[in-house]
Amino acid sequence: MPAPDRSKFHSELLRWYEENKREMPWRRTRDPYRIWISEILLQQTRVDTVRARYESFLERFPTVRHLAEARIAEVLLAWQGLGYYGRARNLHRAARLITQQYSGEIPQDPVTLQRLPGIGLYTARAIASIAFGKDVAVLDGNVMRVLCRVFRLQGDPRTTAARSRLQALADELLPKGKASTFNQAMMELGALVCRPARPLCSDCPLSPVCQAFRKKQVHAFPKKTPRKPSPTRLRVVAAVFHRSRILFVHRPPEGLLGGLWELPGLYVNGGDTQDGFEKLKEMLRKVATLEAVSTREPFSVDHVYTHFREHLQVISCRGRPVASSCAMRQAEPFFQWIHPTQLSHFALTGASRKILGQVLS
């Protein structure tokens, strides 16, 4: 980009940002902890959702030490409904490492930040630039879209080669000493104006230097290779009641939805739900004798994850415990009977909350 165009790029972008930026609670602070929490919350989550949960999370865990000293079950419960629970587990691990290795002080160096669980290149640079004023450029989906259109960059930005090229371009464009404002301005422009669909080019401060706009090809960028459709997994689930309590199982601490509670269920191969229910009943016999299984057809619930969909077939029934509470806690997996009034104390999977919404109504 010629020097005059680059100067115009910077001045017009930063002027637009000052006049149009949204009011966000995390923009009113330079506290590295609060900025770190906002960046993790904003990963794969809508801004409006984060805005509604940000302050309550910080009230529960106001400092790195509060977060580090909390039990993981408390963190998962505070995270409930935000999805991508690996973020919460990594946040908890990182808080403990910061407390143990850095005396509770969040590192300023982006390379050091990347060594912490859950902090990748983008998040490390966002924290370093916004909280500490480091001259490093960020590259998220919004920034990639702006750059692809302004420079008419070919190639799918999701590929490693394209991302590397885009990061180098973002680094080159970064005005020294203004990284915090510049990075936030680029992200805000992509979110509000240079949108994936229906971009507001007439309102864009960069339209005079945007090559895609000049050639009327804005909708052709970024180039993207079509994704394969998400696979669907079939799962059978049992809602088992005993004296108004419901049987739940605790998921292993690692992996998908690690540490959350859910209604007992099994994945089914080959689409044979009847065989699946028989195997599920067999699994449950070590903790409960199933009685009065509903004779009506199982009802269906669909739930979407990042890389696959779940189609759940659900039966409801009564069950009689055959194991003591102590034995159930020692079982693998770990089962527990929970009264509906106590569910607010447990972090449940989204699919189980959907099922309970139907069963309890």
- Answering whether pTM is above 0.85, one says yes
Report pLDDT for 333: 76
What is the count of structural domains for the chain?
2
Same domain, 41 and 171: yes
Tell me if 225 is assigned to some domain. Answer: no
Instruction: Please give the structure tokens belonging to residue 43.
Output: 């990963």
**Whether residue 9 is found in the same domain as residue 155:** yes
Do 206 and 242 reside in the same domain of the chain?
Answer: no
Dist CA 128 CA 332 (whole Å): 43
- Asked whether residue 59 falls in the same domain as residue 200, the answer is yes
DSSP letters of 215-226? TT-GGG-S--PP
* 97 shares a domain with 66: yes
- Host domain of residue 138: 3-220
Token pair belonging to 112: 């050091």
- 309/232 Cα distance (integer angstroms): 5
Q: How far apart are CA 14 and CA 315, in angstroms?
A: 57
Q: Give CA–CA dist 309/261, Å, rounded.
A: 19
CB atoms within 10 A of CB 17: 19
Asked if residue 159 and residue 40 are part of one domain, the reply reads yes
Residue ranges of the alpha helices (H) in 70-215? Answer: 72-79, 86-101, 110-113, 121-132, 141-150, 160-173, 179-192, 211-214
Q: Which long-range contacts (CB under 8 A, 24 or more apart) does 146-149 make?
A: 146/186, 146/189, 146/190, 146/194, 146/206, 148/212, 148/221, 148/222, 148/223, 149/194, 149/199, 149/210, 149/211, 149/212, 149/213, 149/218, 149/221, 149/222
Q: Do 188 and 238 have their domain in common?
A: no
Shared-domain flag, residues 32 and 162: yes
Cβ neighbours of 320 (radius 10 Å)? 11
| 122 and 55 within one domain | yes
**Torsion on CA atoms 35, 40, 46, 47, rounded to nearest 10:** 0
DSSP 28-85: G---HHHHHHHHHHHTTS-HHHHHHHHHHHHHHS-SHHHHHHS-HHHHHHHHTTS--T
Pairing relationship of beta strands 245-250 and 261-262 according to DSSP bridges: antiparallel
Shared domain check, 238 and 199: no
Token code pair at residue 207: 């339209």
Mean pLDDT split into 10-residue runs, the chain, 361 residues = 79 97 96 98 94 97 98 96 94 98 97 97 98 97 97 92 94 96 98 97 95 96 88 95 94 90 93 90 86 74 93 92 76 86 94 94 79
pLDDT of residue 296: 65
Q: Does residue 227 lie within any of the structural domains?
A: no
Q: What is the pLDDT of residue 224?
A: 87
Count of Cβ atoms closer than 10 Å to residue 290 Cβ: 17
Residues 51 and 148 in one domain: yes
Q: Residue 138: is it exposed, middle or buried by C-beta count within 10 angstroms (0-12/13-18/19+)?
A: buried
Name the helix (H) or strand (E) containing 359: helix 350-359
Residues 6+ apart with CB under 8 A from 46: none
Type and span of the H or E element at 239: strand 232-242
Any idea which residues carry the catalytic annotation? 39
